[in-house]
């Protein structure tokens, strides 16, 4: 129904899957990738500097030198924009390093995560989760676009470790992943204790003490 505006996907600034594979030739004025990038960078920068409090569509538009309408055309809500900015800027900062034992891999990863999240990125993450409490779509985009795939990676590492006999087999993997990663989120969101670079290592040591087949 209706004629409405962009026939494209309207959730996170990505085009719809399309049928062929690539269809670079469309009809009208093409989307300006530079503007898209400026908007995403502006969104991320504002989240880093002011958290969710200062994150308004107007502020992002002003900082990006774009029109508010342009933002509304491509992102369906504040939350969608925030998630898109986060995925574009931050998500690539934390790769897994697939080498060594499960414990080594997880520990290293946990250290990296703690280090990155202890700074500006942590503020963005906290803002994102806060916004997610307000808007289910935002939470969903965050879960499917970031949290779930990351968790899946961790799960595979732990499973491989169990397979190789490095870890006890009688554990609930989801519970273990929570024990490992939840503290980092907790320290970001509920700042009773600071999150520092070696918080990750401390947590890993503690949790793996309950995972090794024999006593350490």
Applying CB under 7 A, which residues contact DNA? 5-8, 25-32, 35-36, 56-59, 65-70, 72-74, 77-78
How far apart CA 92 and CA 90 sit, in angstroms, is: 6
7 to each of 66, 158, 215, how far by Cα in Å?
A: 21, 43, 60
Residue (of 18, 17, 5, 14) closest to 40 by Cα position: 14
Q: Give the per-residue contact string, 168-207, with its own copies (x = CB under 8 A; - = no).
A: ---xx-xxx-xx-xxx-xxx-xxxxx-----x--xx--xx
Per partner kind, with CB cut-offs from 5 to 8 A, the member of its own copies, DNA, none near residue 16 is none
Which CB sits closer to its own copies, 16 or 119? 119
How far apart CA 162 and CA 33 sit, in angstroms, is: 45
| E strand spans, the chain | none
Write down the least CB distance from residue 93 to its own copies, Å. 19
Q: Give the per-residue contact string, 120-159, with its own copies (x = CB under 8 A; - = no).
A: ------xx-xxxxxxx---x--xx---xx--x--------
Residue (of 177, 183, 175, 197) closest to 102 by Cα position: 177
Q: Does 208 bind its own copies (CB under 8 A)?
A: yes
Per partner kind, with CB cut-offs from 5 to 8 A, the member of DNA, its own copies, none near residue 36 is DNA
Write down the least CB distance from residue 138 to DNA, Å. 11
Structure tokens given for 201? 């290592």
What is the number of residues in the chain?
216
Q: Does 33 bind its own copies (CB under 8 A)?
A: no
Which CB sits closer to DNA, 32 or 193? 32
Q: Tell me the H-state helices in the chain.
A: 33-50, 57-64, 68-74, 78-89, 102-117, 120-134, 136-142, 148-163, 173-189, 199-208
The answer to whether 68 and 57 are in contact (CB under 8 A) is yes
Per partner kind, with CB cut-offs from 5 to 8 A, the member of DNA, its own copies, none near residue 146 is none
Per partner kind, with CB cut-offs from 5 to 8 A, the member of DNA, its own copies, none near residue 164 is none
Binding residues for its own copies, rule: CB under 8 A, are: 51-53, 126-127, 129-135, 139, 142-143, 147-148, 151, 171-172, 174-176, 178-179, 181-183, 185-187, 189-193, 199, 202-203, 206-211, 214-215
């Amino acid at each position: 129904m209706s004629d409405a505006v962009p026939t494209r996907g309207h959730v996170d600034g990505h085009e719809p899957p399309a049928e062929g594979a690539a269809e670079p030739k469309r009809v009208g004025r093409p989307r300006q990738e530079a503007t898209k990038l400026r908007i995403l960078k502006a969104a991320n920068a504002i989240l880093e500097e002011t958290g969710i409090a200062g994150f308004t569509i107007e502020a992002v538009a002003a900082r990006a030198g774009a029109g508010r309408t342009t933002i509304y055309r491509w992102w369906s809500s504040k939350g969608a924009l925030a998630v898109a900015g986060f995925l574009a800027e931050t998500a690539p900062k934390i790769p897994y390093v697939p080498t060594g034992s499960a414990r080594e891999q997880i520990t290293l990863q946990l250290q990296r995560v703690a280090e990155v999240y202890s700074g500006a990125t942590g503020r963005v993450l906290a803002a994102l989760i806060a916004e997610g409490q307000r808007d289910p779509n935002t939470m969903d985009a965050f879960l499917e676009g970031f949290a779930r795939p990351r968790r899946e990676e961790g799960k595979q590492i732990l499973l491989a470790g169990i397979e190789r006999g490095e870890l006890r087999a009688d554990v609930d993997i989801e519970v273990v992943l929570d024990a490992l990663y939840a503290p980092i989120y907790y320290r970001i969101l509920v700042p009773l204790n600071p999150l520092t670079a070696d918080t990750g290592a401390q947590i890993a040591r503690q949790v793996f003490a309950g995972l090794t087949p024999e006593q350490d």
